[in-house]
Amino acid sequence: MKKIKKIFLSDIRNFFEKYHSLNVRHLKIIIVSFMLLIIGIVIFLGWITYKRIVDTVINDFNEQQLILARHAASQIENTVNFLKREVTLLRLSPTIQYQENPGFLNRLNNTFISVKDLGVYELLFIDYKRKKTHRINEDTGYTQCNINEHEQELLNFARDVKRRDWILIEKASPNENLTKRVIMELLTPVWQISIDEAHPIPTGQFSGLIVFKIDIPSLIYKITEKIHSGKTGYAWVIDNEGIFLYHPEESFIGHNAFEIRKLKEPGISFEKIEKIQKEMILKGDEGKGWYISGWHRDLKGEIKKLIAYAPINIDSFKNKMQWHVAVVAPVSEIKGSISSIQMQHILLQAIIVFLILAGGWFFIFTLVKWSKVIEKSEEKYRSLVENADDIIFMTDNKYRLVSINKKGLEILNKEINQLINEPVCDIFPPEGEILMMNIQHVFKEKEPMELTHKLSINGKDYWFNTKLRELRDEKGEIYAVLGISRDITERKKMEQQSYHLEILASLGTLGACVAHEINNPMAVILGFTDMLLEKTPKDSETYEILKIIEKQAINAKNSVENLLSFVRRREHKEELVDINECLDRVLKIVQNTALLKMIEIKREFQENLPPVKGDAGELQQVFFNIINNALYEMKNGGMLKVATKYDKYWVEIFISDTGPGILKQYRNRIFEPFFTTKEEGKGTGLGLWISYNIIDKHDGIITFKTKTKEESEETGTTFLIKLPAYER
Amino acid sequence: MAEKILIVDDEPDMLRLLSMILKEKTPYDVVTTNNPLEAVSLVQNENFDLVITDLKMPGLDGLQLLEQVKKKEEDIPVIIITAYGTIEAAMEAINKGGFDFITKPFRKEQIIFTIEKALKWLKLCRENRALKEKLKSGTN
């Protein structure tokens, strides 16, 4: 609290010099650093987000690919199962078993038609009895010929009764003209086990062998053609030996995947895919990953690809066959779509960052501009406050001083440390309490106040006019009261003097009226007394009483005459008067009195004092009045000091006594007519009034300084008379 | 025949004092009034040899009465008495043809002396006028 108060106003300069400008500089650095930090964080977060998005999307994408692979695998399995079902249906048909024409051929044809779209390019029925092969295919339609050696071998293999229910799936060698490189044969023996009208009892004999010759790529193609992973992703299938059963690049089909890749792009290391293929795919695992390829469709070069793979299980009585489908797509394709989103994202971030930057700079710029404006304005107001000719101070709500300006320190004659935090009532004696009550009022009633109060510092009296105004914080609460005190001592003096003069003037007029009103009855009283005195014997008591009446009336008449002597404006002489001479003359008159009263007279006359234009008699009367009063007051002796001085335009006369001084309550009244502190009958109370008027008439000034025993150990009064010096 | 003096003052006690002084100390006839308006008609209708008037009176002041007297006869001296003695008032009174100016309170000797002086002056004026008349008719 104390610290905060200290920095206000008078110390505010130091505060600003110390911290303000530095603050702005600091603020700039802080804001710029803060902005850079924010930008850094934004970029970092953006990068992390991008990474995560890429990872997530790639992962999701690959998961999709895995689903596709699984789907493809099950589709292929389903197709093979369908073919197995078809061949079973055919095997169980009596028409086929007993080769009953014409149904036999029709049945074969119908089955071929239903399976030819599933990769079956040729359907064979090898007749065991007749050693004939019935062949149906797209190119030649139906043909019949004698069985060849291979077919004989197959028959021998199939006629074993143990293999009666077998459906054998076997890989076959490429056909003669190599148009179909990867071929699979689906074989099943036909036994005469079914019944029909012609054969009510089955013979149970071996009839022959049904063979579906299947072009595997065609079978797979029917399924994989529908698979589109991303824009250009595709599927490929290998068998358990790593031979491509299907690949969109037709030249790969039938070749070992490891070899054909190297053959196509010898410069690229296929380590990764080979590892995946060897360790995962060929082991029948399902999974996903990535690898570097040398191409993708028409694209060449090192391409990172995502791969998802799943096994295809094909049941056969002889062995379990396993193929593997893989769905691949280049990462760049996914990244491409992500990066376009990411680009938008980065653009947005850039815009935001730019806006933050621009906003920040604008803020700083405005702040700096404003701080300069504020600094200037503060400088202006500070200099106004500091150089003000008024005391400017501030108090808190406990009526303690918070700040005060230079003028205040000068007048109070104190250091700032001696005043801060001190109660206002102690700082502004003797009327600090009144000031404090007014400040209290401002705090309570929330309205400005104005008061005139006295201030006494080191025995010097000032008069101040103080305006009190509330200071409010941003919430509108009064947190302090600002006081502006104007030194009105001179004005107050003038006012008092002019008020005094007015009183004197009005008393003059009043005096004249009173004189008139008194003179009339006096004339009557004195006139009749005079008349009666003549008629009264001198030794009578009546005569004596009449004499008393006459005396008192004459006293009254004299008083009025004195009073009127100035109202009447007696003729005023204008001559050059030597003040020293005048004073000497007066001192000569009073020196015997002074001697009797044990009063020492001290003369301190300045030599070559310029003359004063005026009436020597009148001026002597003034000096006499004042000196006479001084001697009267020094009842137990003392010192009368009479001094003269020449000061530029003025001849100054000092008349000092060591008497008891003039009591405070009389100080304003001593120049009033009829005012006297002397015992009754010893003074008319007109001496100083007359003196005042005489000096006034001479365009001079008469003032006094006095100290009573309450005020000082050395009591006494000094009258100062200033008369305009006559310039020769 | 004794000279006739008119005394005007709004204060009856003052009138009584003045008439007492004059009656006891001089042989003149005294007429007094405390009504200045009545004084005007008295001046107009009767012949006075001297008028003594207060300066400040309600209704009509001493200077206005002085004018009325001068209208009636130029030579009749008017003595003005006032309690409010200023040089200005005295100067004005004299300028307007007042014979003398006495301030209150006064001594009876002062007023008697001034009256004597005024009547003597009136006498001289009138004699002067008669001689001039005589001289005029003589030459004619």
Amino acid at position A406, single letter: K
Sketch the domain layout of chain B as residue ranges: 4-139
Task: Note the CATH architecture for domain A388-487.
Answer: 2-Layer Sandwich (3.30)
Q: Which chain B residues touch A if contact means CB-CB below 8 Å?
A: 11, 13-14, 17-18, 20-21, 24, 56, 82-87, 103-108
Residue of A nearest to B85 (CA): A568
- Chain B residues with beta carbon closer than 8 angstroms to that of A568: 85-87
A150 to chain B, any CB pair closer than 8 A? The answer is no
Write out the two tokens for A205: 């004999």
Query: Alpha helices of A413-540 — where are they, by DSSP H?
Result: 416-419, 424-427, 432-445, 489-535
Report d(CA B11, CA B62) in Å as an integer.
Answer: 13
Q: Which residues of chain A form CATH 3.30.450.20?
A: 99-212, 388-487
- Chain A residues with beta carbon closer than 8 angstroms to that of B20: 528, 531
Of residues B81, B89, B90, B87, the one with CA closest to residue B110? B81
**pLDDT tens track for A41-84:** 877 887 888 888 888 888 888 898 899 999 999 999 999 999 99
Residue A621: per-residue pLDDT: 83
Yes or no, beta carbons of B107 and A530 under 8 Å apart: yes
Amino acid at position A600, single letter: E
Report d(CA A557, CA A720) in Å as an integer.
Answer: 32
Q: Residues 566 to 585 of A: which have CB under 8 A from any B CB?
A: 567-569
**pLDDT tens track for A108-143:** 999 999 998 888 999 999 998 889 999 998 888 899
Cβ–Cβ < 8 Å for A87, A169? no
Residue of A nearest to B84 (CA): A516
Report d(CA A390, CA A506) in Å as an integer.
Answer: 36
Q: What is the mean pLDDT of residues A167-189?
A: 82
Q: How many CB atoms lie within 10 A of CB B38?
A: 13
Yes or no, beta carbons of B21 and A526 under 8 Å apart: no
Query: Alpha helices of A387-423 — where are they, by DSSP H?
Result: 406-412, 416-419
| Torsion sign, CA atoms A432, A438, A440, A443 | negative
Percent of chain A with pLDDT over 90: 24
pLDDT category of residue A717 using cuts at 50, 70 and 90: very high
Residue A7: per-residue pLDDT: 42
- CB contact burial A331-348 (16+ within 10 A = b; e otherwise): bebbeeebbeebeebbee
For an interface test with B, which of A568, A570, A571, A572 has the most B Cβ atoms less than 10 Å from its Cβ? A568
Report d(CA A43, CA A345) in Å as an integer.
Answer: 11
Q: Which among B13, B20, B83 has the least Cβ separation from residue A531?
A: B20
Between A6 and A350, the more confident residue is A350
For an interface test with A, which of B87, B104, B106, B111 has the most A Cβ atoms less than 10 Å from its Cβ? B104
Cβ–Cβ < 8 Å for A19, A11? no
Report d(CA A209, CA A204) in Å as an integer.
Answer: 14
Residue B83: per-residue pLDDT: 76
pLDDT category of residue A394 using cuts at 50, 70 and 90: very high
Cβ–Cβ < 8 Å for B53, B80? yes
Distance from chain centroid for Cα A324: 66
Yes or no, beta carbons of B104 and A517 under 8 Å apart: no
DSSP per-residue string spanning B24-82: HH---EEEEES-HHHHHHHHHHS--SEEEEES--SSS-HHHHHHHHHHH-TT--EEEEE
Cβ–Cβ < 8 Å for A127, A151? no
Of residues A134, A199, A189, the one with CA closest to residue A165? A189
A562 to chain B, any CB pair closer than 8 A? The answer is no
CATH code given to domain A575-724: 3.30.565.10
Yes or no, beta carbons of B14 and A520 under 8 Å apart: yes
- CB contact burial A518-532 (16+ within 10 A = b; e otherwise): bbbbbbbbbbbbbbe
Q: Of the ranges A171-185, A435-449, A496-510, A649-663, which one carries the lowest mean pLDDT score? A: A496-510
pLDDT category of residue A605 using cuts at 50, 70 and 90: very high
Q: Of the ranges A403-407, A592-596, A721-725, which one carries the lowest mean pLDDT score? A: A592-596
Q: Which among B18, B83, B108 has the least Cβ separation from residue A530?
A: B108
Which strand (E) or helix (H) includes residue A468? strand A460-472
Side-chain half-sphere CA neighbours of A634 within 13 A: 27
A348 to chain B, any CB pair closer than 8 A? The answer is no
Write out the two tokens for B32: 């007094």
Residue A198: per-residue pLDDT: 83
Q: For A493-566, give the CATH class.
A: mainly alpha
Length of chain A: 728
Yes or no, beta carbons of A557 and B105 under 8 Å apart: yes
User: What is chain B's Cα-based Rg?
Assistant: 15
Yes or no, beta carbons of B103 and A519 under 8 Å apart: yes
The DSSP bridge partners found for residue A244 are A238
Residue B4: per-residue pLDDT: 93
**pLDDT tens track for A202-240:** 888 899 999 999 999 988 988 888 888 778 888 999 988
Of residues A383, A429, A438, A427, the one with CA closest to residue A405? A383
Q: What is the mean pLDDT of residues A273-295?
A: 86
Closest-CA distance, A502 to chain B, in angstroms, reads 21
ipTM: 0.81
Write out the two tokens for B100: 């003398």
Write out the two tokens for A392: 């400017």
Between A592 and B20, the more confident residue is B20
| Torsion sign, CA atoms A397, A401, A406, A407 | positive
- Chain A residues with beta carbon closer than 8 angstroms to that of B82: 516
Task: Note the CATH architecture for domain A99-212.
Answer: 2-Layer Sandwich (3.30)
pLDDT for A18 beyond 60? no
Which strand (E) or helix (H) includes residue A680? none
Contact partners, residue A372, CB within 8 Å, separation at least 6: none
Q: Compute the mean pLDDT over every residue in chain A, rounded to the nearest whole number.
A: 84
Q: How many CB atoms lie within 10 A of CB A678?
A: 13
The DSSP bridge partners found for residue A243 are A256
Residue A10: per-residue pLDDT: 43
Which strand (E) or helix (H) includes residue A324? strand A321-330
A564 to chain B, any CB pair closer than 8 A? The answer is yes
pLDDT category of residue A511 using cuts at 50, 70 and 90: low
Yes or no, beta carbons of A520 and B85 under 8 Å apart: no
A551 to chain B, any CB pair closer than 8 A? The answer is no
Which strand (E) or helix (H) includes residue A44? helix A21-92
User: What is chain A's Cα-based Rg?
Assistant: 68
Cβ–Cβ < 8 Å for A723, A653? yes
Of residues A403, A464, A394, the one with CA closest to residue A429? A464
Q: What is the mean pLDDT of residues B14-30?
A: 91
pLDDT category of residue B79 using cuts at 50, 70 and 90: very high
A557 to chain B, any CB pair closer than 8 A? The answer is yes
Length of chain B: 140
Residue of B nearest to A522 (CA): B105
Angle between helices B12-25 and B108-139 (to 10 degrees): 70
Q: Of the ranges A126-130, A453-457, A568-572, B75-79, which one carries the lowest mean pLDDT score? A: A568-572
Q: Of the ranges A280-294, A339-353, A585-599, B115-129, which one carries the lowest mean pLDDT score? A: A339-353
Q: What is the mean pLDDT of residues A416-433?
A: 88
Yes or no, beta carbons of B105 and A528 under 8 Å apart: no
Cβ–Cβ < 8 Å for A565, A624? no
Report d(CA B84, CA A586) in Å as an integer.
Answer: 33
Q: What is the mean pLDDT of residues B29-58?
A: 91
Residue A694: per-residue pLDDT: 85
The DSSP bridge partners found for residue A104 are none
Residue of A nearest to B10 (CA): A520
Report d(CA B53, CA B10) in Å as an integer.
Answer: 9
Closest-CA distance, B101 to chain A, in angstroms, reads 15
Residue A474: per-residue pLDDT: 86
- CB contact burial A21-54 (16+ within 10 A = b; e otherwise): eeebeeebeeeeeebeeebeeeeeebeeebeeeb
In A104-231, beta strands by DSSP E: 120-127, 132-137, 141-146, 168-172, 183-191, 206-215
Helix (H, G, I), strand (E, B) or coil at B140: coil
Report d(CA A433, CA A431) in Å as an integer.
Answer: 5
Residue A5: per-residue pLDDT: 43
CATH code given to domain B4-139: 3.40.50.2300
Q: Of the ranges A285-299, A349-363, A452-466, which one carries the lowest mean pLDDT score? A: A349-363
Report d(CA A526, CA A327) in Å as an integer.
Answer: 153
Per the omega criterion (within 30 degrees of 0), is the bond before B105 cis?
Answer: yes
pLDDT for A324 beyond 70? yes
Give the angle subtended at the CA of A561 by the CAs of B77 and A548, to the nearest 5°. Answer: 100
How would you classify the pairing of strands A244-246 and A234-239?
Answer: antiparallel
A535 to chain B, any CB pair closer than 8 A? The answer is no
pLDDT for B50 beyond 90? yes
- Chain A residues with beta carbon closer than 8 angstroms to that of B104: 519-520, 522-523
Yes or no, beta carbons of A512 and B84 under 8 Å apart: yes
Cβ–Cβ < 8 Å for A387, A10? no
Q: Which residues of chain A form CATH 1.10.287?
A: 493-566
Between A353 and A65, the more confident residue is A65
Q: What is the mean pLDDT of residues A311-334?
A: 84
- Chain B residues with beta carbon closer than 8 angstroms to that of A517: 83
Residue A567: per-residue pLDDT: 52
Percent of chain B with pLDDT over 90: 46
Residue B40: per-residue pLDDT: 92
Report d(CA B127, CA B140) in Å as an integer.
Answer: 20
A31 to chain B, any CB pair closer than 8 A? The answer is no
Q: What is the DSSP code (8-state) at residue A205? A: -
Q: What is the DSSP code (8-state) at residue A9? A: G
A563 to chain B, any CB pair closer than 8 A? The answer is no
Sheet with strand A638-647: strands edge to edge? A599-604, A638-647, A650-657, A716-724, A701-707
Helix (H, G, I), strand (E, B) or coil at A656: strand
- Chain B residues with beta carbon closer than 8 angstroms to that of A518: 83
Q: What is the mean pLDDT of residues A691-696?
A: 87
**pLDDT tens track for B125-139:** 989 989 998 988 877
Virtual torsion, Cα A90, A91, A93, A96, nearest 10 deg: 90
Residue A9: per-residue pLDDT: 44
Yes or no, beta carbons of B86 and A523 under 8 Å apart: no
| Torsion sign, CA atoms B72, B76, B77, B81 | negative
pLDDT for A12 beyond 50? no
Looking up tokens 């303000």 gives A20
How would you classify the pairing of strands A401-404 and A449-457?
Answer: unpaired
A688 to chain B, any CB pair closer than 8 A? The answer is no
The DSSP bridge partners found for residue B81 are B54, B102
Write out the two tokens for A664: 């405070």
Closest-CA distance, B81 to chain A, in angstroms, reads 10
User: Is residue A378 classed exposed, middle or buried when 0-12, 13-18 and 19+ CB atoms within 10 A define those classes?
Assistant: middle
Between A685 and A99, the more confident residue is A99
User: Is residue A201 classed exposed, middle or buried when 0-12, 13-18 and 19+ CB atoms within 10 A define those classes?
Assistant: exposed
Looking up tokens 């009842």 gives A635
pLDDT for A653 beyond 60? yes
Cβ–Cβ < 8 Å for B90, A509? no
Residue A210: per-residue pLDDT: 92
